[in-house]
Amino acid sequence: MATTALDPAFGLQSVSRDIGDVPLFVRLPRGSRDRLLEGGHVERFAAGVTLFSEGETPKYFHTLLRGMVDLSSNYRGRHCTVLLLTPGDSFMPAAALYDEPYLLSARTLSPSRVLMIDADVVRREARQTPEFGIAISRLLAGQFRLSLRIILDLKCRSPSERLAAFLLRLHDLRSPGTVAQIPFTKRQLAARIGMQPETLSRTLQVLAANGLYLRGREIIIADRAKAEAFCGEDPYPSGNEDELGVYAL
């Protein structure tokens, strides 16, 4: 099975997922998987396309096969990123499963391939196939764990510490022998960390004094030990979200 997969344009590890490789579907009985896929289709989207907006009622259950998608909210004109989805991730599955309005909007950050299954088909299959219901539960558990990790980062770390920890994570996701880069704009980076874009440059100066800095989009680690000491230990146990089918950043 492929590991966390990011688009090559981002300069990070790149593995496009086939439908049969997505953890949500891989352990299902053949009949269940066939019924779901018969009720769906794969679409390609350019970067910058809004797939759905907060408040809309789900028509489809979305799973990302290639690219990167921003799940975000706009509050008083401020863009607030909640999750950055990578291949293998499904978009807000509880909304489609329970026919509830989306709490967030989804927008592609790069050219993307998305599996879109009719939401009625997903709800019907969850009722009639226990294995699919369990697979959805595992996915929801993984997204809940990741959400708690982000909440603990917000509660327990300063913005500069969160930024340092996130950049170290991106650096460690790179393919061996390649240059680590942030896979989006610095404005998007600020939105993911939870800070104003205008404060990002000042925060990066703090990080540079602690062994970690950006050159353009390239992540440079001058002193790993110093950078790790600066951001401190993670305020949560080591995660196993990828084992639950969640690969979001």
Whether the per-residue pLDDT at 177 is higher than 90: the answer is no
pLDDT of residue 77: 82
Pick the CATH number of 158-231 from 3.40.630.40, 2.30.30.110, 1.10.10.10, 3.40.640.10: 1.10.10.10
Whether the per-residue pLDDT at 8 is higher than 70: the answer is no
pLDDT tens, residue by residue, 54-90 = 999 999 999 999 999 999 998 888 889 999 999 999 9
Question: What is the distance between the alpha carbons of residues 183 and 170, in angstroms, rounded to a whole number?
Answer: 9
Whether the per-residue pLDDT at 7 is higher than 50: the answer is no
Whether the per-residue pLDDT at 11 is higher than 60: the answer is no
Task: Provide the token pair at 75.
Answer: 């509050």
pLDDT of residue 17: 80
Reported as a pLDDT band with limits 50, 70 and 90, residue 174 is confident
Whether the per-residue pLDDT at 224 is higher than 80: the answer is yes
Q: Name the fold adopted by 8-154.
A: Jelly Rolls (2.60.120)
Whether the per-residue pLDDT at 106 is higher than 90: the answer is yes
Question: Do 66 and 87 contact (CB within 8 A), yes or no?
Answer: yes
Question: What is the distance between the alpha carbons of residues 166 and 213, in angstroms, rounded to a whole number?
Answer: 12
| Helical segments of the chain, H only | 23-26, 30-38, 93-98, 119-128, 130-156, 159-173, 186-193, 197-208, 224-231
What mean pLDDT comes out for the span 30-53? 95
Residues linked to residue 118 through DSSP beta bridges, in sequence order: 60
The 3-state DSSP class for residue 21 equals helix
Region of 36 (left: φ > 0; alpha: ψ -120 to 50; beta: rest) is: alpha
Across the chain, what does the average pLDDT equal? Answer: 89
Question: What is the distance between the alpha carbons of residues 186 and 232, in angstroms, rounded to a whole number?
Answer: 23
Percent above pLDDT 70 for the chain: 93
What mean pLDDT comes out for the span 89-118? 96
Question: Do 17 and 6 contact (CB within 8 A), yes or no?
Answer: no
Question: Do 158 and 194 contact (CB within 8 A), yes or no?
Answer: no
Whether the per-residue pLDDT at 219 is higher than 60: the answer is yes
Question: What is the distance between the alpha carbons of residues 229 and 50, in angstroms, rounded to a whole number?
Answer: 39
Annotated domain spans of the chain: 8-154, 158-231
Residue 36, judged by CB atoms within 10 A of its CB (0-12, 13-18, 19+), counts as buried
Calculate Rg over the CA atoms of the chain: 18
Q: Which residue bears the tokens 């066939």?
A: 34
Residue 62, judged by CB atoms within 10 A of its CB (0-12, 13-18, 19+), counts as buried
pLDDT of residue 16: 67
User: Cα-flanking dihedrals φ and ψ of residue 221, to 5°?
Assistant: -105, 105
| Of 183 and 112, the one with more pLDDT | 112
| Of 10 and 91, the one with more pLDDT | 91
Treating both helix axes as pointing N-terminal to C-terminal, what angle do 224-231 and 159-173 enclose, rounded to 10 degrees? 130
